[in-house]
Amino acid sequence: MKKNLYCPFVFVLTLAVLTGVGCVSSPKRGPGVQKDLPDFVMNPPTQEDALFGIGTARLSTVNQSMQMADARARQALAFQLNTNVQAMITDYARDAGTAQSQAHLELAEIVGRQLTQVTLSGATVIKRVQTNDGSFWTLMSYSKADAARAAADIIDNEASRYAEFKTMEALKMMDQQLDRLNTKPEVVDQ
């Protein structure tokens, strides 16, 4: 009789375990996972003559959401053109004690920051999509020819500023020399 009670218990337990395993192995969608992402998010376009940036936002108004999505797409383009990456990695390990009583301390730290400053003249919104959750997604394009012109302008401006700096430096040196010539030496009575 004990054998008959044991078999249904094992069957129910096995069924519960298998049901639990099935639930655990199925992927769960949290509140932050979107089902209706625009195609360009997962498959961004590629072209030889253009760069693309993607931005998204969901704010309190439609206008603010579109503006922020556009701004973030522009920011993604800027990071492709000019990014100054600063990074630091600290790795520390220490062993102390005797063979019978050993203490080990280990620390790893990674710090990073990315900065950019670029003027994007001619960046164009290619697509703007609103998803079911109210988020706006923007796909923006920037031609590589415009990027090359912007880079040339930056180089020209830097060269111009350097030439102006050197001119000012030469004028200061000339003023110092003229001051020396115009200064009368002190006469010392002996």
Please write the tens of the pLDDT for every residue from 104-124: 788 888 888 877 777 778 899
The residue with greater pLDDT, 31 or 149, is 149
For tokens 């337990």, name the residue.
13
pLDDT at position 185 is 67
Higher pLDDT, 130 or 161: 130
The listed range with the strongest mean pLDDT (1-5, 61-65, 179-183) is 61-65
Task: Identify any residues that bridge with 56 across adjacent strands, giving them in sequence order.
Answer: 137
User: Residue 51 pLDDT > 50, yes or no?
Assistant: yes
Over range 82-103, report the average pLDDT.
78
Q: Where are the domains of the chain?
A: 37-143
C-alpha dist (Å) from residue 183 to 170, 171, 179, 180? 20, 18, 6, 5
Under 8 Å between Cβ of 92 and 106: yes
Looking at residue 10, its amino acid is V
Q: How far, in Å, CA of 32 to CA of 131, rounded?
A: 13
Q: For 7-47, what is each residue's pLDDT tens digit?
A: 454 444 444 444 444 444 434 445 555 678 999 999 989 88
Query: Which pLDDT band, with edges at 50, 70 and 90, does 154 fall under?
Result: low
3-state SS class at 165: helix
Distance from chain centroid for Cα 127: 22
- Enter the DSSP assignment of 100: S
- Decide if pLDDT at 131 tops 50: yes
Report how far residue 72's alpha carbon sits from residue 136's, in angstroms, rounded to the nearest whole number: 11
